[in-house]
Structures are given as structure tokens and as C-alpha cells.
Amino acid sequence: MQDPNADTEWNDILRRKAILPPKEAPQEDEEEEQLHQQLSVVKTYESMTLEELEENEDEFNDEDELAMEMYRQKRLAEWKANQIKNVFGEVTEISAQDYIQEVNQAGGGIWVVLHLYKQGIPLCTLINQHLSQLARKFPQTKFLKSISSTCIPNYPDRNLPTVFVYHEGEMKAQFIGPLVFGGMNLTCDELEWRLSESGAVKTELEENPRKQIQDQLMTSIRCSEPKRRDGDEDSDED
């Protein structure tokens, strides 16, 4: 027997003859309106504090409870999405075999900071310490390190430390050699600023910390200059 609910020409004829009842109207509009109302309730709850929610909890009806469940599911999804983004948080050691997977194939939207270093070079050790702090501060950025000769055979020691910055497999910045970093006076904030200029991290620093140090140094130099006295000027003229 043919399905009376099927959309066929024969059923359409039977409906016009009143042999079959009229086809039921789709419930999409009603469901969409109900969803819209629930979302409106959710937005209302989003603007309330926890104390306000607790005060009004006794007045919740079934629709309110459903809206609250939707709100909870929404927040849970946002939390899970954020957890997926925050998957790094530390400096990972890699080898040459890991390079393509960890750097070039890091994934869409992922910034990668790679430090080439060698044991026994003090500035390399300092930068590794700074990068460990920055990795915890910016968990959405992938921080890597690799012994230079292991990662790139015959890589010259004079180029160490070296920091490469990649985004979606493309190199965006490179910092090569000790002079670029300013030596052992390099601070973590200065390194953060350098990386932020390349786009690897989103810093809250308002200006280059190195500039502040330079300004303080120039002020100190000016203050330490001996002031000329009027008698000195007369002596010069004599």
C-alpha cells in the first residue's frame, strides 16, 4: 500500500478529492520561533550575575530550564574550543625528523617559535629560560627548541642563538646571532616584544622595553655630565 504521506502526484489527486487529509504544514517555522525565544532567554541570562541567577532560580519554568541548559551547553562548547587552542604551554625539544611535522605542518592558524641552540652558550641558555616563561604566558603559540647541529647539519655556531618564527608553515621572521638579541642583557619582556612584532604572540606591552632602557641610559649620561661654571668659561677665553 502506498504511503499516504509521500509527495506523489497520486496522493495530491487524492487530497484534492478529499480522500486523503490535507498535508500537514511543516513545523519548521514554529520550531524556529521557539528556538528564537529560547536564545532570547539565554541572552538574558548571559547578562545576569551568578547572584542574580540564584535569586531567580525558584521562578524558573520549564522553558527557563531548557534555556539554561542551552546556555550551559554553549559555555561548555566555548570552554572545550578554548582548551583545544591552549594545547601547548611549554617548550618542546624536536629533532630534524620532527621538523616538517612540528613546524611546516603545525596546522592552520598556529604560530611556531623555533630556537636553534647549543649547550654551553650562555645566551642560548638565557633565551631558553625566557621562552619557557613565554610558552606558559602564550599557550596558543607553539614554542620549540632544537640543538642546531641536530636540526640543521653544519649550522655555524656564530649564528647562535637563532630564532625562527613560522605561521602556517611559512617563515615570518628570523633572529640570527648574538648581536641581534643584545647579549646577556636581554630581558624576557624584550624577547616578548620582538616576537610580538613578528605576530607570534599578542603582547600587552605598550612599547619596546629596550627603548625604556635606552632612555634611562641617556638620562643617566646627561645627569653625569659635569656642569660648566662661569669661571671655567672665562678660563677658556684666557
Q: Is residue 184 in a domain?
A: yes
pLDDT tens across 36-64, in order? Answer: 555 555 555 555 555 666 666 666 666 66
pLDDT of residue 69: 73
pLDDT of residue 218: 46
Select, from the ranges 11-25, 107-121, 209-223, the one with the highest average predicted confidence (pLDDT).
Answer: 107-121
Q: Is residue 3 in a domain?
A: no
The CA distances from residue 232 to 190, 221, 223, 238, in Å, are 43, 21, 19, 10
Question: Where does residue 196 rank: exposed (0-12), middle (13-18), buried (19+ CB within 10 A)?
Answer: middle
Q: Any idea what the Cα angle at residue 51 is, between residues 45 and 55, rounded to 5°?
A: 80
Q: Is residue 122 in a domain?
A: yes
- What is the share, in percent, of the chain residues with pLDDT greater than 90? 43
pLDDT tens across 177-228, in order? Answer: 999 998 999 999 999 999 999 999 999 998 888 765 554 444 544 455 555 5
Longest dimension (CA), the chain: 128
Q: Is residue 23 in a domain?
A: no
pLDDT higher than 50, residue 8 = yes
* Number of domains, the chain: 1
Residue ranges making up the domain that contains 181:
91-218
CATH number at residue 162: 3.40.30.10
Q: Is residue 41 in a domain?
A: no
- pTM of structure: 0.57
Residues 75 and 70: their CA atoms lie apart, in Å, by: 9
pLDDT tens across 53-100, in order? Answer: 666 666 666 666 676 677 777 777 766 666 555 578 899 999 999 999
Q: Is residue 9 in a domain?
A: no
Q: Is residue 69 in a domain?
A: no
E strand map for 94-232:
111-117, 142-147, 162-167, 170-176
